[in-house]
Amino acid sequence: MVVEHFKDAAAIYRRFRERGRMAPDGLTYVSSWVDEKLERCFQLMEAEDRKHLDEWVGNWSDLVAFEVYPVISSKEAAERVSSLL
């Protein structure tokens, strides 16, 4: 899960319109949600290797401050905790 803190929403959307997501091979966009103030984007991305995510972050870091949280599905979390119940 990636939390993006927008520095300039208009510039971000302009670049996206002109250049696309700029994601390298190996990084897959899943879905995203933007807060109503256009200040933050909550984005779910998938990558087998963190280097692909880091490359994508580098493509946008002039316009966005990033927080990256490795996440697992609720189903996987339930499976992991089941032995503790």
Write down the pTM of the prediction.
0.88
| φ, ψ for residue 10, nearest 5 deg | -60, -40
Q: Does domain 2-84 have CATH number 3.30.70?
A: yes
CA 5 – CA 60 distance, rounded (Å): 11
Q: What is the pLDDT at residue 37? A: 98
Tens digit of pLDDT per residue, the chain (85 long)?
999 999 999 999 999 999 999 999 999 999 999 999 999 999 999 999 999 999 999 999 999 999 999 999 999 999 999 988 8
The H or E element that residue 74 is part of is: helix 74-81
Q: What is the pLDDT at residue 5? A: 98
